[in-house]
Structure 1
């Protein structure tokens, strides 16, 4: 019979927190240890069920800020998509309340990215797609969040997500993942070294981004002039052509449209040694499709919905999450096939390059006016796309517009390529983090006490913070000679306190326990809330208290 958790010896508790040799992702310095992520946490909690935090619970008042997936950036907190709920409603989902300095981990899109919650609001609460992680006090929060965002940890998350449409992770899975634990002093040296190196890269990235932004603005101005007639005004004057020669034409009338599909992946004959380009949204990263990630065979074309588009075409992504921010458009100069997420237009009586650049110029307008609503995955309505109107000049002026555009944009593109080091910088960041969590930044001191002693302290710290009834069951119990104050005792002494200051005055260490107890007192009328400017205060309701 397995032992109960409370009856385990200190050595058994330690062994349960360690990652077996055969499960360790890679070798680390001798005074480091691979531990299970859950052993480094004081508390982890899910966001509320969707029905417990809906739009009807939102408020215009700046009370409890809701942490949404869009706030969890790859490089830290993202200040966007601001939503609040009331303090009262936050207390009803108390386990989802988050403190400044806690770590929040995204469950999906993609799963595993993490941030440290800033100190910009009176209160924070999780949305349903996030997880709160409170580190044990003897582990560096900065070190942990850097590690969570490192490749070794994110790979573990991505390899074990669940869900077909939106892959997600869970607390139970996160707790089992391997995490390298160095001595305390080494954690801080690693954090300092990372911050020093990344700050220099961030400075370089900012300069590169400024150059890119300048290019994009200049490009937008050129494209606007091209399709309002301003760019070729001099050409029309020299060739006695009027702007009235331009007409409006629906995209659906600009040529023949084609769709696509995916050949059955289980039939090897459709894929093995395939030579025909099969375009999917992940291939739509350049103006002209030269090659594709996947290729299909002639047999696949004959037996599936992936029909050959032999003539030069313009491709539009009509179904993909990327449509939230951009509509990918590309040209083909050779026969291709496409999958079901792409529509192809083979132009007739109009220049392929002209239509391409006209659509690029109107990309945001097309996306805004042709997007479907209420779909799980962002989509473009084919019917609305066919109805979209474009300005069409004479064939000669089309050629002149394309000539000028390609000449100007080619020069700008070269400048862009010289300044576009962002991808390289992001790669360098990943390399730095990977080396940091392998002990390869020349910061480790092998003479320092092994992380095994630190792990013992962590486990001891965790046991010291469980309720006293659980402490009695453990062999690692510590006596607490200090009598804590209750919420009512703290409020009686100080008359009026904010929730944060009230918690600090009580002996309730766990934030979830604190807000659960506070909610009971508010619900029974023993404690009342009072608004004063931007602050929320709590007071004892002397009239409501029973003698």
Structure 2
């Protein structure tokens, strides 16, 4: 039986080859003096955030000591200054491996996984939250170049294709280390960064102007909507028509018409989907005032045999379950028969104008979201019961028509606002194109005469190998002396009877947090391990009855 060579016995060339991505695994062709390397070969240090129980609200402080880097701080375009939380210096030192320095890279493990930022220099100290990874690059790669590459499509695609989890897909250190990354000569990296910054700064300037115009419109629209549903917009109309503001009444949304829910036909039954012509609305379709078409369509057979029932009359649709509810409540009208999935509720208005109810809900969108949101749910949700109880001002039918008539003039101006929105989308697309070309060597910055970074990479890899043995030898001696080999989860639980997740991980040979929890979930799902709660602590035990059975 052939035995794999130990790291210490590999030649320099073999060490280098282990760090390179084989030709058949390279995502695309790059200039000859570039290399495709495994991401892990570019890292001097990578570390997870702490276990959730090691950084809880009880560890927070009002003092500005160690800033906690949360997922909300990791923006698509860099650091986001929001959701400010701190822990004490003393507690930060108890989770020292999660301390981050200004200039380090932090990568989000989820929501979505793979986006990266460079930590700013605004605080005395930074520490990771549980859902982030810190990465300190070696001198073979520029930090600016590396973070641009991590956020580029070629790298993010690798991350997204290999995430784990259904509700909250995650990545992990072990996965990130294996992904392919293009490495040009060091001098070329800086030229690429300079070129990217130059091009993107011009696009950012254009985007800012378009965003300013869009924000101006949105503010004007908000003012008009407020006036419309407080009676101010139609004050003159009431005077001319001898109508009093007292004619307005308050009515619950639940009393404004008939409500419908929806569902998802079984996806494995082709008869429900193939050649379907009936609109099936999901939150992904709720991007305009009126639903004209949908991404997916279902058949009449699906309507007859599933919970996705036909809503034949004109309706108002509300998204009641989606991550987007963190920032907006999507509302839309239908003008043709539709079906909806389980994340949407539909109101068919009765004795009140559809357009009036729609605009009234748009005007009160934030209020509805704030007052009707469910608490303690995994995915953001609106309580249907609370939505039905929400009160709207309802004027006479004639005044409803006048309000809608005035608001329709705003819709015409909205088209111009959409043009600004389209400009912003095009700019974002152009940014992605520039980054994609940059990491293919297509920005006319490459000097083919420059030597590749191969020798520098080899030297750094050798240094890393040579600094490990002294530490590893000490560890191995201790292991032999104590006769403690890494245990499986079941072995550790069999020996200790009952352990918290943190103590259980420490007993096993599983280093990566996500790998540990993935293995633990399999054992819990199969019944080999059971969970028990005492107070605020979770304990894990071997299910002896299940094993005997």
Asked if TM exceeds 0.5, the reply is: yes
Greater relative CO (CA pairs within 8 A, separation 6+): 1
Give TM-score scaled by structure 2 length.
0.85
Q: Per the alignment, do residues 163 and 526 of structure 1 end up closer, same or farther by CA in structure 2, a change over 3 Å counting?
A: closer
Task: Determine the C-alpha separation between the residues in 2 that align with 1:309 and 1:496.
Answer: 53
Following superposition, the deviation at residue 241 of structure 1 comes to 1.0
Task: Determine the C-alpha separation between the residues in 2 that align with 1:413 and 1:493.
Answer: 68
Matched-pair contact (CA < 8 Å) for 2:174–2:512:
no
Moved more, 340-349 or 480-489: 480-489
| Cross-structure match for 2:267 | 265
Q: Per the alignment, do residues 541 and 142 of structure 1 end up closer, same or farther by CA in structure 2, a change over 3 Å counting?
A: farther
Task: Determine the C-alpha separation between the residues in 1 that align with 2:542 and 2:273.
Answer: 73
Deviations 1:295-326 (A, max 9, x none): 00000000000000000000000000100100
Task: Determine the C-alpha separation between the residues in 1 that align with 2:498 and 2:388.
Answer: 64
Following superposition, the deviation at residue 409 of structure 1 comes to 3.2
Task: Determine the C-alpha separation between the residues in 2 that align with 1:334 and 1:510.
Answer: 52
Please state if 1:15 is matched with 2:33: no
Task: Determine the C-alpha separation between the residues in 1 that align with 2:196 and 2:371.
Answer: 45
| Counterpart mapping for 1:404-483 below 5 A | 404-418=406-420, 420-463=422-465, 466=468, 468-469=470-471
Deviations 1:322-358 (A, max 9, x none): 0010000000000000000000000000000000000
Following superposition, the deviation at residue 234 of structure 1 comes to 1.0
| Cross-structure match for 1:197 | 199
How many residues of Structure 1 are paired with residues of Structure 2 in the alignment? 547
Moved more, 533-542 or 416-425: 533-542
Following superposition, the deviation at residue 383 of structure 1 comes to 0.5
Moved more, 439-448 or 495-504: 495-504
Following superposition, the deviation at residue 411 of structure 1 comes to 2.1
Following superposition, the deviation at residue 138 of structure 1 comes to 2.8
| Cross-structure match for 2:344 | 342
Matched-pair contact (CA < 8 Å) for 1:460–1:476:
no
The root-mean-square deviation of aligned C-alpha atoms, in Å, is 11.3
Matched-pair contact (CA < 8 Å) for 2:12–2:462:
no
Task: Determine the C-alpha separation between the residues in 2 that align with 1:195 and 1:57.
Answer: 39
Task: Determine the C-alpha separation between the residues in 2 that align with 1:516 and 1:313.
Answer: 43
Following superposition, the deviation at residue 64 of structure 1 comes to 0.8
Q: Per the alignment, do residues 289 and 536 of structure 1 end up closer, same or farther by CA in structure 2, a change over 3 Å counting?
A: closer
Moved more, 1-10 or 415-424: 415-424
Q: Which runs of 5+ in 1 are unaligned?
A: none
Equivalent position SS for 2:165:
coil
Task: Determine the C-alpha separation between the residues in 2 that align with 1:311 and 1:526.
Answer: 52
Q: Per the alignment, do residues 492 and 173 of structure 1 end up closer, same or farther by CA in structure 2, a change over 3 Å counting?
A: closer
Matched-pair contact (CA < 8 Å) for 1:150–1:430:
yes
Task: Determine the C-alpha separation between the residues in 2 that align with 1:233 and 1:200.
Answer: 47
Give TM-score scaled by structure 1 length.
0.86
Following superposition, the deviation at residue 475 of structure 1 comes to 21
Q: Per the alignment, do residues 447 and 491 of structure 1 end up closer, same or farther by CA in structure 2, a change over 3 Å counting?
A: farther
Q: Which runs of 5+ in 2 are unaligned?
A: none
Equivalent position SS for 2:388:
helix
Q: Per the alignment, do residues 246 and 498 of structure 1 end up closer, same or farther by CA in structure 2, a change over 3 Å counting?
A: closer
Deviations 1:30-87 (A, max 9, x none): 1101000000000100000001100001111111110000000000001111111111
Following superposition, the deviation at residue 238 of structure 1 comes to 1.2
Task: Determine the C-alpha separation between the residues in 2 that align with 1:44 and 1:133.
Answer: 5
Task: Determine the C-alpha separation between the residues in 2 that align with 1:520 and 1:294.
Answer: 33
Following superposition, the deviation at residue 459 of structure 1 comes to 1.5
Task: Determine the C-alpha separation between the residues in 2 that align with 1:370 and 1:77.
Answer: 31
Matched-pair contact (CA < 8 Å) for 1:112–1:169:
yes
Deviations 1:179-198 (A, max 9, x none): 00000000000000001111
